Structure 1
Amino acid sequence: MTNRVNVVSSGHTFSVEAHETVLEGALRAGVALPYGCRDGACGACKGKVVSGEVEQGGYQDKALSASEREQGMALFCCARAKGDISIEVREVPGAGEIQIKTLPCRVDSIEKIHDVAVLKLKLPASERLQFKAGQYIDILMKDGKKRSFSIANAPHDDAFLELHIRHQAGGSFSDYVFTQMKAREIMRFKGPLGSFFLREDSDTPIIFIASGTGFAPIKGIVEHILHHGTLRPMVFYWGARTLADLYMAELAGSWQAQNSNFTFIPVLSESLPEDQWQGRHGLVHQAVLDDFKDLSGYQVYACGAPVMVEAAHSSFTHKRALLEDAFFSDAFFLAKDTAVSG
């Protein structure tokens, strides 16, 4: 059975099959609804059902509260239409321009830095993946499961796809990457995915905030901006526990040394005596709060642990006047068997 979905705010319409979620139907039709985890955890795809009904699939309570459901809100990544529906949701400019593909790739190299594997994937000679800086891909595993990882390189540097994979205790995929994966191994992936990418239609100053491997998409975005010579002021806060967890600090430091419009501020929460750390301590979002009393003239790109992303969004919008539509985020949620995205 096929149902029609009307996006009231834009006038776009698309069909959705009985087995599809509203988001899946939108992506198939090239309608750019916002989304992140696609698993009912992050709330990025939330919108209002204006008319008609949806069957809401499983989700986490923090992504959709009971009061929001009473107001007609839904998570379109896990909601299925029960007939023709009209919805109200903010579409993402430019996100639907790029075709989503399923492609093979070959492992070209695996570089292990502390507890992060920097994986470079080579596409077939006849293929290139067009993507926006900051998006992610799904690695398609042989057992039918998938693992989501941000693309860490910029779109112009597309000879390889670079992924940053943290070794997570008990994580089946990260264990495999660190203990068994070999160069030249063949895998399949689907992408590009996600509505976390650089908005290039603005010259507003940017604050980047990352925890852990949330650095990966930030790296792609920063390298894209620097490649194009854009002079937007940028401040990058990277939070980690110890100095070793800032696994590419030298690279971020080189951006600052070579570009007057870029500032790098690393923040450690649990520095070790051997780190001899003289820099900033504490929570990374708090460092931003300490440095900026008014964020109304900024865009913020936040990526990493959900608790950090949520704290940044709440405190920046409520305490520092950041506009709601100037906060862009990608929260890395654990997969069901504890493999981690990012």
Structure 2
Amino acid sequence: MLPWLTGKVIKIQDETNATRRFWIQVPELEKFDFSPGQFVTLDLPIHELKNKRWRSYSIASWPDGTNVIELVIVLLEGGLGTTYLFNEVTVGSELTLRGPQGVFTLPQVIEKDLYFICTGTGIAPFRAMVRHILNNNIPHKNIYLIFGCRKCGDALYKNEMQELESQLSTFKYLPTFSREEGNDLVRKGYVHAVYEDICTNNKNAADPFLRPAHFYLCGWKNMIDEAKQRILSLGYDKKDIHLELYG
């Protein structure tokens, strides 16, 4: 079991109306080593029982040799953990954390297309992965980041993702909005239609086989459950699907 560490909040920034970015430094470590896609667990003073106090969040930043990590957190109505983080935590606050944890990480050798499918703050591990691939010139195939939001204002890291798309020719940023109205310039609907269209278009009469792919799913249970079924229906295998469940 990894030891508990003390982190100090060094910066807080609102990303959307209900989403906030927290930068946490771990002074007792020279650098915080982790693999993109991993998470940390916070022990928050919100309950007497340990397992009622623990909240896990994917690391939204990428390994950069420092002892600072970023978390992006959405305020959940009635959520004890996020209410505490939004109302009680300020710059200078200390947080007890453990990590890194998790196996939701990139393959050692990327020999297949990557589909990063997410909703809300589920974009966090994928931001880390794409940055890591770019920063380290890691050989890879196509990368599709399919990000489901309600409205345009909910698109976390939008400008950054668009900039990454211009820097990395193999990277496609594909946000889709379920409740956006009157804007013909954006993709509307849910994430499922987007990856189904790509997979179908990549398979044609001249090449009837599915392109090899890894599907990484991160978000709420309903989205993940439906995506798993749809990906299997396309003809992919269970081993092609990797998931990180929120909530």
Q: Same fold (TM over 0.5)?
A: yes
Structural mapping, 1:70-109, within 5 Å = 100-109=2-11
Contact map agreement 2:60 2:72 (CA 8 A) in 1: yes
CA 1:286–1:157 in structure 2 vs 1: closer, same or farther (change >3 Å)?
Answer: farther
Contact map agreement 2:199 2:211 (CA 8 A) in 1: no
CA-CA distance at 1:200 after TM superposition: 2.1
Cα deviations across residues 36-72 of structure 1 (Å, max 9, x unaligned)?
xxxxxxxxxxxxxxxxxxxxxxxxxxxxxxxxxxxxx
Whether 2:192 is the aligned partner of 1:285: answer yes
Unaligned runs of 5+ in 2: 204-209
**Which whole-Å CA distance do the structure 2 matches of 1:299 and 1:112 have between them?**
32
One-letter amino acid of the structure 2 residue matched with residue 320 of structure 1? L
Contact map agreement 2:117 2:147 (CA 8 A) in 1: yes
**Which whole-Å CA distance do the structure 2 matches of 1:260 and 1:164 have between them?**
26
More moved, 167-176 vs 115-124: 167-176
Contact map agreement 2:76 2:82 (CA 8 A) in 1: yes
Contact map agreement 2:29 2:67 (CA 8 A) in 1: no
**Which whole-Å CA distance do the structure 1 matches of 2:29 and 2:226 have between them?**
44
1:223 corresponds to which of 114, 117, 131: 131
Which residue does the alignment assign to 2:14?
Answer: 112
Unaligned runs of 5+ in 1: 1-27, 29-99, 334-342
- Aligned alpha-carbon RMSD (Å): 1.6
SS at match of 1:281: coil
Which residue does the alignment assign to 1:173?
Answer: 81
**Which whole-Å CA distance do the structure 2 matches of 1:141 and 1:156 have between them?**
26
2:220 corresponds to which of 302, 305, 312: 305
Contact map agreement 1:296 1:323 (CA 8 A) in 2: no
Whether 2:140 is the aligned partner of 1:238: answer no
Which residue does the alignment assign to 2:207?
Answer: none
Which residue does the alignment assign to 2:206?
Answer: none
SS at match of 1:120: strand
Structural mapping, 1:185-224, within 5 Å = 185-224=93-132
SS at match of 1:313: helix
SS at match of 2:90: coil
One-letter amino acid of the structure 1 residue matched with residue 238 of structure 2? E
Contact map agreement 1:140 1:189 (CA 8 A) in 2: yes
CA-CA distance at 1:280 after TM superposition: 1.5
Contact map agreement 2:119 2:219 (CA 8 A) in 1: yes
Which residue does the alignment assign to 1:129?
Answer: 32
One-letter amino acid of the structure 1 residue matched with residue 10 of structure 2? D
Identify which of structures 1 and 2 has the higher relative contact order when contacts are C-alpha pairs closer than 8 Å and 6+ apart. Answer: 2
CA-CA distance at 1:176 after TM superposition: 2.2
**Which whole-Å CA distance do the structure 2 matches of 1:296 and 1:261 have between them?**
15
One-letter amino acid of the structure 2 residue matched with residue 112 of structure 1? D
CA-CA distance at 1:184 after TM superposition: 0.8
Which residue does the alignment assign to 1:322?
Answer: 236
CA-CA distance at 1:287 after TM superposition: 1.4
**Which whole-Å CA distance do the structure 2 matches of 1:219 and 1:320 have between them?**
26
**Which whole-Å CA distance do the structure 2 matches of 1:289 and 1:157 have between them?**
38
Q: Choose 1 or 2 for highest CA Rg.
A: 1
Contact map agreement 2:150 2:179 (CA 8 A) in 1: yes
**Which whole-Å CA distance do the structure 1 matches of 2:227 and 2:44 have between them?**
33
**Which whole-Å CA distance do the structure 2 matches of 1:249 and 1:170 have between them?**
27
CA-CA distance at 1:296 after TM superposition: 4.8
**Which whole-Å CA distance do the structure 2 matches of 1:126 and 1:171 have between them?**
30
CA-CA distance at 1:277 after TM superposition: 4.6
**Which whole-Å CA distance do the structure 1 matches of 2:181 and 2:9 have between them?**
35
Which residue does the alignment assign to 1:139?
Answer: 42
One-letter amino acid of the structure 2 residue matched with residue 309 of structure 1? I
SS at match of 2:4: strand
SS at match of 2:231: helix
SS at match of 1:292: helix
**Which whole-Å CA distance do the structure 2 matches of 1:315 and 1:303 have between them?**
15
